[in-house]
Chains A and B, each alone.
Chain A
Amino acid sequence: MSKPHSHLPLTILFMLAWRNLWRHRRRTLITLTSIAIGFGLAVLFIGIGDGSHNSMIRNAIKLGEGHITVQPKDYLQAPANHKYLSDGLSLSAKLNELNVTGSVAARISLQVLASTASNSVGAALEGFRSNSDQRQAMLQPQLIEGNWIEAGDHRGIVIGDGMARKLKAKIGSKVVLMAGKQGGDSQAQLGRVRGIFDSHVDELDDYLILSDLQFAQYFLAGEGAIIEQAPVTRFAVFLDDPDTMAYWKAQIKSVIENDLVVALDWQEMMPQLVQFIIIDDVGNYVFLILILIMVVFGIVNTVLMSVLERTREFGLLRALGLGRQHLLLLVFCETLLLSVLAVIIGWVVGGGTHWWFSQHGIDFSALMPEGTAMMGTFMDPVVYTELSWDRVTQLTIIIFVTTLLSGIYPAIKAARVTPVEALRT
């Protein structure tokens, strides 16, 4: 043994650490329980947040312009009636060739002035294939009066209850829709109210006028479009699997995008909704930080207490020939094991809680009597918690790193023990 040095094999290190962890069984169990409960709550809160946000997003996409929208390039910045896709026919053919797994809806959006004998209000005329569009699926069940627009009904319109009140319109009422033309003239078409819906989303109820695509195309014709080319404002692409959005967006871009036409995803179409969700998430992160602080205190308290009451033992081990680094490692291993256990138990509790609420949902309708509408969309009143794999890894890493960081101080404390002082006590 020319230059002898000490060995502390990992197996022995972990064996010591594991046994030390269970010296105060009750204390360790209490710590683990509190971490697990905190973690379960964090998973639940984040699951509720993600669940409600995803519900809002799904509804916003259904009510709005799909996962991916194909429309004139500058439409989003400055919508105008004269901005439309004049050759809807060939664009539609190109989109069909892609065989998108989902549906493609042709739509026309126009800013109009709606007038009855009693009143005039600004409105958004939305023309679509009235018997096959997502909007039908969303809004037909919300009809409170009258009927949906039948196929081939060129004059029928459906309006929200807010609009109906302002216009004093009833089923069968005539409504004149007037739109400015690019040149400065104006054009008008006559619509007849077939149905009135109440979506509880004020932006829709007060402002929306629904019609068949053909009715709206009359206005585009007035702007100079050729009806035979099937002019539209946009194509809304609804995907069966939202996770394929990036792929389909790229595909669609590659075939249709040019100087005049763009393909945008829902995040680009609804930046305010994205903002809202980010801000709302901050609340969940604050909660998560509070939980983490609790976890840090739990671990520091448990490990530090056990370090302080073992001062003598550490002194003994140092006298026997363990180096400072061994004590540092030993205490750090104890934290590591505690943190692995905490993460496992935390996931059992958090995962279980999440699973239960993902199946049974949480009914928020009592908490939100004025309805769950916001940002032009709404949240389903019963929220089913959602947890993506990204969240799972994110939470695991956060909790693991936090617990390990909280082990640093007690480990240093243990390494600082000097045998003489420790043994004198």
Chain B
Amino acid sequence: MALLTLQGISKCYQQGELQVNALNDINLQVEEGEFAALVGPSGSGKTTLLNIIGGLDTPTHGRTLLNNTDITGLKEAELSNFRLFQLGFIFQAYNLVPVLSALENVELVMVLQGRSAEEKRERAEHYLQLVGLQDVMQRRPSALSGGQQQRVAVARALAAGPRLVLADEPTANLDSENATALLDIMHRLSHEEKTTFIFSTHDPRVMERAERIITLHDGKIVSDECHQRHDEPTV
């Protein structure tokens, strides 16, 4: 059984008289451990799809099965807990709580999970080290560069031990050097931690680092192909 199965997902938005079909009959399976890119031009439905997979939004039609759970049938509080224990999120920007240090940001999700103080401290430090931020752990987000902030978000997502990490244009606010560096970190950790990643992008240099590229256009999947990565130029 695949980790993620989307069955006939559609999403319509009513905009006054106009009906916008943001997603149109999406069928998709993602296996455990995949490192998949969701690509397509702006407005093609990437964010909408990621939000539905993450249980942040509900589809108009169709079902989302994640780790054998039909999340379209969950109540709001159940979804909230589902996200906490099963999912990691990385957004385009403002990923971090400004009043918390990098370390505290990574710990926060584990606090909510109810992990012990030692465990969460140990894991937070471990993952911040893996993303190369051991020297700036005590800094608040405002004292970190954009690339560093995104790496904190990656550490936070992984430290919580999720089944699936969803990243909506995680590199959109980064220069290409930082963007490829972030992707390489994500890719490496995905393999080391055996964690499934789905990230969206419209940057060709970023998408070529994916192992699978799912292309959306006008809310439909227009291509879905496995991709041979040219390994591993920078770390």
A319 touches B112 (CB 8 A): no
In the complex the two chains form, is B80's CB within 8 Å of A16's CB?
no
Question: Cβ of B112 and Cβ of A316 under 8 Å apart?
Answer: no
Residues of A385-409 at the interface with B, using a CB-CB cut-off of 8 Å, are none
A286 within 8 A of B: no
B94 proximity list for chain A (CB < 8 A)? 312-313, 316
Shortest C-beta distance, B16 to chain A (Å), equals 17
Which of the candidate stretches B59-67, B82-90, B215-223, B224-232 sits at the interface with the other chain? B82-90
Output the nearest chain B residue to A318 by Cβ-Cβ distance. B80
The distance in angstroms between the C-alpha atoms of A8 and B100, with both chains bound, is 15
- For residue A419, which residue of chain B has the nearest CB? B56
Mask: chain A, 5-40; 1 = CB below 8 Å from B; 0 = not: 111110010001001100100000000000000000
A19 CA to B100 CA, complexed, in Å: 8
Contact A8 B91 (CB under 8 A): no
Structural contact, A9 and B84, CB atoms closer than 8 A = no
Contact indicator A6/B112 (Cβ below 8 Å): yes
CB within 8 Å of B: which A322-358 residues: 322-324
Q: Is A317 an interface residue (CB 8 A)?
A: yes
| A322/B98 contact (C-beta < 8 A), A9-B111, A420-B51 known | no
Write the A290-327 contact mask toward B (1 if CB under 8 angstroms, else 0). 00000000000000000000001100111111111000
Q: Flag whether A184 is at the interface (Cβ < 8 A).
A: no
Chain A CB within 10 Å — which of B83, B95, B100 has the most? B83
Cβ–Cβ < 8 Å partners of A419 in chain B: 51, 56
Residues of A within 8 A of B84 (CB): 4, 6, 320-321
Interface of A is mostly: helix
Range, interface on chain B: 20 to 34
* Interface residues on chain A, number (Cβ under 8 Å): 27
- Chain A residues contacting B54 (CB-CB under 8 Å) are 319
Set A12, A319, A323: member contacting B111, Cβ < 8 A: A12
Report whether A316 and B95 are in contact in the complex, using a CB–CB cutoff of 8 Å. Answer: yes
User: B193 on the interface (CB 8 Å rule)?
Assistant: no
B113 contacts A4, C-beta separation under 8 Å: yes
Nearest to A11 among chain B residues (CB) is B111
A8 to B99 CA separation, bound complex (whole angstroms): 16
Chain A nearest Cβ from B61, distance in angstroms:
18
Q: Is A1 an interface position by the 8 A CB rule?
A: yes
Report the minimal beta-carbon distance from A187 to chain B, rounded to whole angstroms.
Answer: 89
Taking each of B47, B77, B91, B112, which has the highest tally of chain A beta carbons within 10 Å of its own beta carbon? Answer: B112
- A1-B85, A312-B94, A320-B83 known; A420 vs B56 contact (CB < 8 Å): yes
| Least Cβ–Cβ distance between B167 and chain A, in angstroms | 12
B47, B83, B95, B99: the one contacting A321 at CB < 8 Å is B83
State the CA gap A1–B160 with chains docked (Å).
Answer: 14
Contact B56 A321 (CB under 8 A): no
**CA–CA, A5 to B83, complex, Å?**
11
List CB contacts (< 8 Å) of B89-127 with chain A: 89, 91, 94-95, 97-100, 108-109, 111-114
B81 near A: Cβ within 8 Å? yes
Instruction: With CB as the reference atom, state the residue of chain B lying closest to A8.
Output: B112
Name the B residues within 8 Å of A317 (CB-CB).
97
**Contact partner of B56 among A6, A12, A19, A319, CB < 8 A?**
A319
Quick check: is A374 within 8 A (CB to CB) of the other chain? no
**A7-B113, A9-B111 given; A313·B98 CB < 8 A:** yes
* B57 contacts across to A, CB distance below 8 A: 420
| Interface: A423 (CB within 8 A) | yes
In angstroms, Cα B220 to Cα A182, docked, is 112
A6 CB contacts on chain B under 8 angstroms: 80-81, 84, 112-114
Known: A19-B100, A20-B99, A424-B47. 20 other contacts (CB 8 A): A1-B85, A4-B81, A5-B81, A7-B114, A12-B108, A16-B97, A19-B99, A312-B94, A313-B97, A313-B98, A316-B91, A316-B94, A318-B56, A319-B56, A319-B83, A321-B81, A322-B80, A322-B112, A419-B56, A423-B56
Q: Which 3 residue pairs across A and B have the least CB separation, nearest first?
A: A321-B84, A19-B99, A7-B114
